[in-house]
Amino acid sequence: MDSNKNFVVGIFDDEDVLLHAVEHTREKGLKIHEVYSPFPVHGLDEALGYKRSRLPIAAFLFGMTGTSLALLMQIWMLGYDWPMIIGGKNHASLPPFIPVTFEMTVLLAAFGMVGTFFIASDMKPYKWPRQFDIRSTDDKHVMAIDLATNKMSKEEISALLKSQGASEVNEKNF
Amino acid sequence: MQVTSSIREPLITGGKTIRDVSEDISRQVEGKPTQLWWIAMGISLVALAFGFYCLCTLLWEGVGVWGLNKTVGWAWDITNFVWWVGIGHAGTLISAILLLFRQKWRMSINRAAEAMTIFAVICAATFPFAHMGRFWLGFYWVFPLPNTWGSLWANFNSPLLWDVFAISTYFSVSLVFWYMGLIPDFAVIRDRAVRQGHKLRANIYNALSFGWDGAARTWSRYESVALILAGLSTPLVLSVHTIVSMDFATSVVPGWHATIFPPYFVAGAIFSGFAMVLTLLIITRKVFKLEDYITIYHIELMNIVIIITGSIVGIAYITEFFIAWYGQVPAEQYAFFNRMQGPYWWAYWSMMTCNVISPQLFWFKKIRTNIVATFVLSIIVNIGMWFERFVIIVTSIHRDYVPSSWSMFHPTIYDMGEYIFTFGLFFSAFLLFAKFFPVINMAEVKSIIKSSSEQKH
């Protein structure tokens, strides 16, 4: 994070007003740094032009890793390392290995995906987030606009946000 | 834009605003525990201490302190194990399956139900561990760890080993799912602590929230994580009780050797789990004054799930009997005849009354929307489901193939003590959860305030 960044911060009370505001201000050429909300607002990521998350791909790859590891482990242990005859069946028959394989698939997919989520979102227990307005976890939606990336002046942005239904417009410097 | 449906009752009553949600749910985390909380905690800790004594005696003396004998090798321990695992299932059904079905009424109850799942699975796990006697060696018996016997690996053909993998995966994934849901709510408490000037609390809850910022980008990823976790948990929860049932169904014991077991066990698990959710939530909503969030409508919907799953369980009981008659295997027929009329007839008929007859009362709207009736019936259902497992396990094995081995099971104080231990563990964990964690998912409830509350816009 570079220091001395100036932001205009628009506060919205209602999620539908916020959604329209995001769409309209982006049409007018305003670059929005980020929007902070107390709860997930449906359609906000598309309105902001974010691409779909690739976490499902990560989950799939981790899941496949789990499947392969579980199968390899069972076939190697019971088929090659110490073959045992159990109930007169083959040393390494597939059907009894399916439950453990399924569980390992789910386990690795879930943990791998959640781990990827924490890394991708840069979330760690000892990190404090940059907060534009502390009410964004309570009941306000907070739209942050970086002055450096926009051509409009502070006053113009302020007026635009007000006209789009922002209940307050503040400034925040980091 | 979401529109309030005129044919559905609002999920949140009392004209709550988004700010009220933060206020009402965070209040009990921020305040001092009430006297009632201390009393409940005291009772739970006494139960825990007594159970711990029984558990230590078991470890010191051996499994012989239990009432097990050569014929009845599984009794209260496995009954309690299956009972607790079953209870856990409702939490995952509410949080994962209802999420996939986009059922918004899950939002007020999923947090507490998932907490219940996690604590119930911990309680369940204590029984197989205790049953192993020297459980520190058990790690080599159940996990594929290199050992000094060869390495002689664990037997992956055994349903008991599948169970180990199923339950430990279920526990871990449920824990992650529950924790993911808690993250935004920890941030709410953190920011309230900052405003109230509680530095230590702010730091603790920030660490718990992993520095949550609530950015649209984070929410977008967060939602896809939640959806996929729900998608993974749904087959997982079905697999868990399926595999638990295979502990019995893959054996050649009359009364256990049945292909109907997996669906029948899963339905029974959800049935007992919903009953336990109701027992816990009826108390929680009263103590924390959450009647506007967990409404009569929520309770009614859960009671409808109880009618459905209770009826499935009833049909399964009848099917088992029909197949025993139709299959014409004398040992199988005797096992079922013995359940009904043998020395354990009282357990069988308690099971039938509690599980098949009592939930049918919920067909009456007056009963399913009555808090006291629901509370009483939820406890009756759980008693019935305990008897179901007891009937399946003990009546099937107390009549061996050799009549000279026939015997009865008499629980000792140590059998009872370990059951009491898990109650102490479960309730003290739930009380700690209710005190330090938000009991309702604030972020999700806030997202439906506009579309499904009594608030005027």
Q: Cβ–Cβ of A134/B165 closer than 8 Å?
A: no
> Which residues from chain B sit within 8 angstroms of residue A132, using beta carbons?
none
Per-residue pLDDT averaged across B44-70, rounded? 92
Contact check, Cβ <8 Å, A138/B187: no
Count of C-beta atoms within a 10 Å radius of residue B350: 19
Instruction: Give the closest residue to B416 by CA, choosing from B27, B36, B80, B141.
Output: B80
Edge-to-edge strand list for the sheet holding A141-146:
A34-36, A141-146, A6-12, A168-173
Instruction: Please count the residue pairs, one from chain A and one from chain B, whose beta carbons lie less than 8 angstroms apart.
Output: 190
How close is the nearest chain A Cα to the Cα of B29, in Å? 15
* Tens-place pLDDT, residues A34-81: 899 999 988 888 888 888 889 999 999 999 999 999 999 999 998 888
CA distances from B417 to A77, B39, B364, B399, B427 (A): 39, 21, 38, 26, 15
Chain B residue with minimum CA distance to A121: B218
Q: Are the beta carbons of B443 and A40 separated by less than 8 Å? A: yes
> Looking at residue B20, what is its pLDDT?
86
Structure tokens at A102: 């399924």
Chain A contact for B192, CB < 8 A? yes
Of B161, B206, B221, the CB nearest to A121: B221
The whole-number pLDDT of residue B209 equals: 92
In a domain, B64, yes or no: yes
Q: Does B205 touch chain A (CB under 8 A)?
A: no
Query: How confident is the model at residue B7, as a pLDDT?
Result: 66
Contact A138 B172 (CB under 8 A): no
Predicted confidence at residue A1, as pLDDT, reads 45
DSSP characters over B333-379: HHHHHHHHHSTTHHHHHHHHIIIIIGGGGGGSHHHHT-HHHHHHHHH
Q: How far apart are CA B231 and CA B101, in angstroms?
A: 11
Q: How far is A9 from chain B (nearest CA, A)?
A: 14
Cβ of residue B3 closer than 8 Å to a chain A Cβ: no
Looking at residue B5, its pLDDT comes to 60
Give the confidence band of B2 by pLDDT, cuts at 50, 70, 90. Answer: very low
**B129-146: average pLDDT:** 84
d(CA A61, nearest CA chain B) in Å: 13
Confidence bin at B166 (pLDDT 50/70/90):
very high
> Are B236 and A106 within 8 A, CB to CB?
yes
In chain B, the number of structural domains is: 1
A111 contacts in B (CB within 8 Å)? Answer: 172-173, 176
Residue B13 counted as domain residue = no
Q: Give me the pLDDT at residue B1, please.
A: 39
- How many CB atoms are closer than 10 A to CB A83? 12
The tens digit of pLDDT for each residue in B197-231 reads 899 999 999 999 999 999 999 999 999 999 999 99
Three-class secondary structure of residue A56 per DSSP: helix
Query: ipTM for the complex?
Result: 0.92
**Closest C-alpha to B231, from A120, A55, A52:** A55
Question: With bands split at pLDDT 50, 70 and 90, how would you rate the model's confidence at B4?
Answer: low
Residue holding tokens 């999700």? Answer: B444
B174: closest CA of chain A, how far (Å): 10
**B153 and A139: CB-CB below 8 Å?**
no
pLDDT at B171 exceeding the cut of 80 = yes
Give me the amino acid identity at B3. Answer: V
Q: Which residues of A touch B228 (CB under 8 A)?
A: 55-56, 59, 109, 113
Q: Is B162 exposed, middle or buried (0-12, 13-18, 19+ CB in 10 A)?
A: buried
Q: What is the pLDDT of residue B65?
A: 92
* Among B214, B223, B447, beta carbon nearest to A137: B214
Contact B282, B374 (CB under 8 A): yes
Q: Which residues of A touch B233 (CB under 8 A)?
A: 106
Chain B residue numbers touching A137 (CB-CB < 8 A): 22, 184, 187-188, 190-191, 212, 214
CB-CB neighbors (< 8 A) of B219 in chain A: 37, 40-41, 44-45
Per DSSP bridges, beta strands A34-36 and A141-146 are antiparallel
Tell me the chain B residues in contact with residue A107 when contact means C-beta distances shorter than 8 Å: 169, 172-173
Instruction: Quote the CA–CA distance of B297 and B81 in Å, as a whole number.
Output: 32
Q: In whole angstroms, what is the distance from residue B61 CA to residue B44 CA?
A: 25
Average pLDDT score, chain B: 90
For chain B, positions 105-144, list CB contacts with chain A under 8 A.
144
Residue of chain A whose alpha carbon sits nearest to that of B149: A82
Q: Residue B148: pLDDT above 50?
A: yes
**Mean pLDDT computed over B19-41:** 89
Q: What is the pLDDT of residue B147?
A: 83
Which pLDDT does position B402 carry in this prediction?
87
Contact list, A69 vs chain B (CB under 8 Å): none
Query: Would residue B78 count as lying in a domain?
Result: yes
- Each residue's pLDDT tens digit, B84-118: 999 998 888 888 888 888 888 888 899 999 999 99
Within a domain: residue B244?
Answer: yes
pLDDT tens, position by position, B268-298: 999 999 999 999 999 988 888 888 899 899 9
B62: left (phi over 0), alpha (psi -120 to 50) or beta: left
pLDDT of residue B413: 93
- The boundaries of the domain holding residue B278 are 18-448
Q: Inter-chain contact B225–A114, Cβ cutoff 8 Å?
A: yes
Task: Average the pLDDT over each of A106-110, B68-72, B80-84 and give the range with the smallest value.
Answer: B68-72
User: What residues have CB less than 8 Å from B410, skipping those under 6 apart?
Assistant: B67
| Record: contact B169-A104, CB cut-off 8 A | yes
Q: Which residues of B touch A62 (CB under 8 A)?
A: none
pLDDT tens across B378-425, in order? 999 999 999 999 999 999 999 888 889 899 999 999 999 999 999 999
Chain centroid offset of residue B295 CA: 21
* Positions of chain A with pLDDT under 50: 1-2
Is A114 close to B229, i.e. CB distance below 8 A? Answer: yes
> Contact B422/B80 with Cβ under 8 angstroms?
yes
CATH of the domain at B434: 1.20.1630.10
